[in-house]
Amino acid sequence: MWNQGFDMYRVYLSAPGDLGREHDACRAAISAVNESDAMPRKILLVSVGLREAGQIVESRSAVAENVRQCTYFVQLFEDEWGPGNLYRKIFHVAEECRDDASFPMRAAIICLKAAPHETDPATLALRKELQDRQDMRVLHFEKPDTLQEQLMEVCKGWVREIVAAGGGAAASGQTA
């Protein structure tokens, strides 16, 4: 792949269920941060992930390997883990990679969409489990544009961390 001297950092977007608009908001946030903060420093955040939840059924092994090669992981959640709860298993792969220094994973975050009408006890318990995580940042949002704004701030922080660790190149007169 021809990268024109950019340091590339893969961001896996995990979006089970019907969170297509939110998935697109995440891609837009990453793209905006690339333009404003990352690319001037020769850094590129590359969003990867499945476009359709059903693809995980036939490609689980490949998806897990893809997650293992990522630097960042973004888990979207509202009320389900997709076919056969496979997105939850991929989420656990990301956790393991984040906790193992032999993988490039630096951070995993949870983006928890508001579900005020949810009544299923199992879903409510899972939402509480995710919300109460102490080892991951949890973003709460109601609409895709709110998610996009919050994720932009997270991505800007990642760019600052990359620069502080010696990645990319100094941008003239700009700060991440």
Residue 162 phi/psi, 5-degree rounding, is -60, -45
pLDDT of residue 19: 92
pLDDT of residue 27: 97
pLDDT of residue 127: 93
Query: Per-residue pLDDT for 61 more than 80?
Result: yes
Tokens of 76: 């979207």
Where do the structural domains in the chain lie, given as residue ranges? 7-164
Exposed/middle/buried for residue 155 (C-beta within 10 Å: 0-12, 13-18, 19+): buried
Query: Average pLDDT of 167-175?
Result: 61
pLDDT of residue 171: 56
Instruction: List b or e across 160-175, with b for residues whose CB sees 16 or more CB atoms inside 10 angstroms.
Output: eebbeeebbeebeeee
Q: What is the pLDDT of residues 63-117, one digit of tens each?
A: 899 999 999 999 999 999 888 888 899 999 999 999 999 999 999 999 999 999 9
Concatenated DSSP letters for 55-110? HHHHHHHHHHHHHHT-SEEEEEESS---GGGHHHHHHHHHHHHHT-TTS---EEEE
Query: Per-residue pLDDT for 3 more than 60?
Result: no
pLDDT of residue 7: 95
Q: What is the pLDDT of residues 8-56, one digit of tens each?
A: 999 999 998 889 999 999 999 999 999 999 999 999 999 998 877 667 7
Strands 107-113 and 43-48: unpaired
CATH H superfamily, domain 7-164: Toll/interleukin-1 receptor homology (TIR) domain (3.40.50.10140)
Tokens of 114: 């508001």
Enter the pTM of the model.
Answer: 0.91
Treating both helix axes as pointing N-terminal to C-terminal, what angle do 55-68 and 86-98 enclose, rounded to 10 degrees?
A: 0
Q: What is the pLDDT of residues 132-143, one digit of tens each?
A: 999 999 999 999
